[in-house]
Amino acid sequence: ETGVTQSPTHLIKTRGQQVTLRCSSQSGHNTVSWYQQALGQGPQFIFQYYREEENGRGNFPPRFSGLQFPNYSSELNVNALELDDSALYLCASSPLGPGINLNTQYFGPGTRLTVL
Amino acid sequence: DAKTTQPNSMESNEEEPVHLPCNHSTISGTDYIHWYRQLPSQGPEYVIHGLTSNVNNRMASLAIAEDRKSSTLILHRATLRDAAVYYCILIVRAQKLVFGQGTRLTINP
């Protein structure tokens, strides 16, 4: 069974640019969540997708957007990059739909984004 | 969001038990208590969860206070590979995990 994978591993962008990060969910998982982890901090929830629809969003501006595809893979897009967007971006998939408190999330290794 | 409080750091010796505490005084009746850990340079990984009763799995044990306002993650024999940041999280509607600062566990050889 393949776990959650993310690409690329590392990425360097300059302020104002746009970036797309990709995530492949674990097989059979229909829910994907994205988190931002700044250095030395715990991960912060960005948003969640379930059956290709956004299902909840954290305190992030609209320039953070996402997609989930029919095969349950996902993308995180960030427009107009700012220096504070430098962080580790984590994708997590889960096998059960939202609203289920037993829904364990399985995390990928993350994409390290540096904005110069 | 339901809040948890954990010590910033703890230290233990290899092959000794480790007890990681978590306070969650505002927990509601339907909140599950989950623990995740994050090893260096990796994404978080699930450790264990519980609602009211103590729980055991191959990784750890979870002891939940009778009033559910606190819990303790127990690593029975710590190894160097258990050095990580441990997060105690209350799950509400499973929509998102709300991570705090966690406890950074150091294991001494």
The tens digit of pLDDT for each residue in A2-50 reads 789 999 999 999 999 999 999 999 888 888 999 999 998 999 999 999 8
Q: What is the rounded distance in angstroms from the CA atom of residue B10 to the CA atom of residue A104?
A: 26
C-alpha distance from A14 to closest chain B C-alpha (Å): 24
Burial class, B61, CB count within 10 angstroms (exposed 0-12 / middle 13-18 / buried 19+): middle
**Chain B residues close to A41, C-beta within 8 Å:** 101
Residue linked to tokens 């092959």: B15
Going along chain A, which residue ranges are E strands? 5-7, 10-13, 19-24, 31-37, 44-50, 53-57, 64-68, 74-78, 87-94, 106-107, 111-115
CB contact under 8 A, A99 and B95: yes
Other beta carbons less than 10 A from residue B43's beta carbon: 23
Q: What pLDDT, on a 0 to 100 scale, did the predictor assign at position B93?
A: 61
Residues A60-90 have pLDDT tens digits of 999 999 999 998 899 999 999 999 999 999 9
A&B contacts, CB < 8 Å = 68
Q: Would the pLDDT of B97 be above 90?
A: no
By Cβ distance, the residue of A98, A104, A108 closest to B46 is A104
Which residue in A78, A95, A96 sits closest to A87, CA to CA?
Answer: A78
pLDDT in tens, A97-106: 665 556 688 9
**pLDDT score at B96:** 73
Q: Looking at residue A99, what is its pLDDT?
A: 59
Determine the residue of chain A that is closest to B87 in CA distance. Answer: A42
Summary mean pLDDT of chain B: 91
Residues in B touching A100 (Cβ below 8 Å): 94
Helix (H, G, I), strand (E, B) or coil at A27: coil
Of all helices (H) and strands (E), which one includes residue B74? Answer: strand B70-75
Find the residue in B nearest to A110 (Cα). B43
Do the Cβ atoms of A43 and B97 come within 8 Å? yes
A107 with B44: Cβ contact below 8 A: yes
